[in-house]
Amino acid sequence: MKKQIAEGQGFIAALDQSGGSTPKALRGYGVEDHEWSGDDEMFGKIHEMRSRIITSPCFSKGKVIGAILFEKTMDGMVEGKPTPQALIDRGIVPFIKIDKGLEDEANGVQLMKPMPELDALLTRAKGLGVFGTKERSVINAANAEGIAAIVKQQFEVGMQVLSHGLVPMLEPEYSIKSEGRAEGEKMLKEEILKLLPTVPEGEQIMLKLSIPVEANLYAELIAHPKVLAVVALSGGYSTEEACEHLAKNKGMIASFSRGLLQDLRAGQTAEEFDGTLSAAIDKIHAASVA
């Protein structure tokens, strides 16, 4: 799995919408709020959508090399198998989203909320065959103190993940709507470079970053021996916009959510659904290997 992520000519699908973003994701899929009641039914509906994606003929080893799961999706079943195993059987590397949401903004950033049950989650994920994790926090301003704090927290949690034998994907997302993003992204890169030497010998991390304003800004991170891969989030861009920007960044591959799912609908026939998903996969794959 490590070799596939390091060398695979494809992208990582983000299927990890959590409680707060699930209703919006369902609406986008054509499932309205009145069609479910309570969290169990809501998560059941989103699991149906994710199962439909995972079992689609076009969602298999090759163009899709990995997939990030929400905890409840990881604990669910697809075709009678635990979801991580269903992915592995299709040649796709499973990851798990571990953060529990964001703190209120301070110094232009939103840190991750505490994760008191993280060790238990990591142990369970490892037992299910999960390869790595993903943890998201958000940068809204080019504030040096805030950016340093967000990178420090990301690395601290990443070290905890490594101690469980999993590969952490650090995601200090830089809001594409923020002013001064080009300057702030340079600060972010420098803070990451400062802490990469703290990654234990023989270990590697992954990075999930917003597509930078300056093309190839993260080339030094992509080439760093402590970095297994650098992936890009779509960050609110449409599929077309995200792919256009990503294609300018050599060695950076996609890890899109909205960019992958935006045209899928619950009411589509199997042929329509598979055709729409296949077209999105082809587009994102092409940008990832451009």
- Residues classed as catalytic: 171, 208
Q: Say if CB 250 and CB 216 are below 8 A apart.
A: yes
Q: Which tokens go with 152?
A: 């420090």
Q: Which residues pair with 82 in a beta bridge?
A: 77
Residues with Cβ within 8 Å of 132's Cβ and at least 6 positions away in sequence, in order, are: 5, 93, 95, 96, 161, 166, 167, 168, 169, 206
List the end-to-end C-alpha distance of the chain, in Å, as a whole number: 22
- CA distances, 39 to each of 19, 23, 43, 93, 117 (Å): 8, 10, 6, 27, 20
* Amino acid letter, residue 199: V
Burial group, residue 128, by CB count within 10 angstroms (0-12, 13-18, 19+) = middle
Q: What is the DSSP letter of 112?
A: B
The phi, psi pair for 254, rounded to 5°, reads -80, 150
Q: Residue 8 in 3-state DSSP? A: coil
Q: Which long-range contacts (CB under 8 A, 24 or more apart) does 113-117 make?
A: 115/157
Q: Which residues pair with 227 in a beta bridge?
A: 205
Q: Residue 207 in 3-state DSSP? A: strand
